[in-house]
Amino acid sequence: GQQLNQSPQSMFIQEGEDVSMNCTSSSIFNTWLWYKQDPGEGPVLLIALYKAGELTSNGRLTAQFGITRKDSFLNISASIPSDVGIYFCAGPNTPGGNTGKLIFGQGTTLQVKP
Amino acid sequence: EAGVVQSPRYKIIEKKQPVAFWCNPISGHNTLYWYLQNLGQGPELLIRYENEEAVDDSQLPKDRFSAERLKGVDSTLKIQPAELGDSAVYLCASSLQMYNEQFFGPGTRLTVL
């Protein structure tokens, strides 16, 4: 089945640094979603991408839909302590499909040192 | 606008006991999802409802898991009997229509002893 691979698995950075993480797949995706999950809470949608090459920002967060449609990137600029959490990428389980089933990556854990 | 509501937030039970989780989706969202999240992993879909109809339950272990969404709004997920391996976080999500952005509730953390 389809899988999403996220890297790095974890990051430990200094407050104020920029962060970059990515998500790759062996198959094409028509949608990429980025979520953040705080401990003890459900995932919160950060950014949704629907078009290859699309670059979308949400405050200090910027995400891009890769041209090949097999990858996506999430960047966080000027990190702050509240950026700590697990970041998941997700996409539909079939290319171009509309089944409503999201496949999630295994997550990137971000820790920020004040 | 209120988000997805789930209860209880935490549940501790002994194995072989039954347990039920409740979800109230965002108002107007006709699609509802139940996900299972194991520690250190991303959520995995158990079942998806379009209004009151379960349209994808292929990942639901039907020997012990059941779900319902009788009036197309609230939903209940049940496990009977629970096993040790069922310890996980059970997340509910909803969306305006199938495959749009999904919004998650806080989850129910189940511990089976």
Which residue is listed with tokens 């879909």?
A: B45
Q: Determine the distance in angstroms separating the CA of B37 from the nearest CA of chain A, rounded to an integer.
A: 10
Contact state of A44 with B104 under an 8 Å Cβ cutoff: yes
pLDDT in tens, A2-42: 789 999 999 999 999 999 999 999 888 888 999 999 999 99
Cβ-nearest to B43 among A45, A98, A104: A104
Restricting to A residues 39-98, those with a Cβ less than 8 Å away from any Cβ of B are 40-45, 48, 88, 90, 92, 98
As a residue count, chain A comes to 114
* pLDDT confidence of residue B42: 94
Residues of A in contact with B40 (CB under 8 A): 106-107
Determine the Cα–Cα distance for residues A61 and A56; give it in Å rounded to an integer: 8
Cα(A111)–Cα(A38) distance, rounded to whole angstroms? 11
Q: Is A100 close to B107, i.e. CB distance below 8 A?
A: no
Under DSSP, is residue A83 helix (H, G, I), strand (E, B) or coil?
A: helix
- pLDDT at position A1: 63
State which residues of chain B have pLDDT below 70. 1, 98-100
Q: How far apart are CA A73 and CA A32, in angstroms?
A: 10
CB distance A67 to A12 below 8 Å: no
